[in-house]
Amino acid sequence: MRKESERHGSLHYQLRKQISYVHVLRRTEAKDLCSSDFGDSRERSVFEVWEIKIWNTIFFLFQAVCSVYDIRIRAVPRWLLLLGSALTAAARIAGIGEGTWVYIWGAFVGIGFLIVSRCTKEALGYADSWMIFLLGMYLGIWKLVSALSFSFLAAGIWSLGKVVLKKKGRKEVIPFLPFLTAGYLGGIVW
């Protein structure tokens, strides 16, 4: 008797779960909430999800190479920045992500950093600002803001550690692209 009631209980639970799922699905369809404006990965095809992962990996590898150049020689070659520009343009043409204005506003943030680099005579290097511009075009404004937050936080902690532990002067130059790469990883995971 008990087994039969447990079986009916679980059957009742499964039926109730299916009915609530159908009810939620109908409500979202009625309100047109199933559009891809929300960026819900459950609504994307498997191909689209893998395409995004592949583009994210390619862009991460590009940033890692730029970071190595920035650490070793404190400069990034122009050909590498132009390659990054081509990668970003290819990602935009491929249609990774939705909504054009998000990426345009991200580009405006990058242009703002390029202006800061120009006005401060490269206190923040052109390569760093160009990478922020590329990140803005690739990620969009909201993910760019989170990536920059992670980057500046990590750079601040690193600088504070250098000043406190090694008693270095305040004029020491640190490469910023490795922090942007770490911020990029934080931005796409966040």
**3-class DSSP state for residue 40?**
coil
17 is a domain residue: no
CA nearest 187: which of 27, 20, 56? 56
Give the predicted TM-score (pTM) of the model.
0.72
Tokens describing residue 26: 């109908």
Query: What pLDDT is attached to residue 43?
Result: 55
150 within some domain: yes
What integer pLDDT is reported at residue 13 of this predicted model?
A: 53
* Residue the block writes with tokens 């994210």: 56
Pick from 113, 110, 114, 112: which is nearest to 135 by CA?
A: 110
Q: Count of CB atoms within 10 A of residue 65's CB?
A: 16
Domain count, the chain: 1
Flag whether 168 is in a domain: yes
With respect to residue 35, please indicate whether it lies within any of the assigned structural domains. no
pLDDT of residue 15: 47
| Residue 34 located in a structural domain | no
Average pLDDT, 10 consecutive residues per value, the chain (190 residues): 52 51 46 44 66 89 94 92 93 76 91 94 90 92 92 90 72 86 85
**Residue 13 within any structural domain of the chain:** no
Per-residue confidence (pLDDT) for residue 46, from 0 to 100: 73
Give the integer Cα–Cα distance in Å for 76 and 69: 6
CB count in 10 Å sphere of residue 167: 7
Domain range enclosing 59:
41-189
At 72, list the tokens.
């070793």
Neighbours of 127 (CB within 10 A): 25
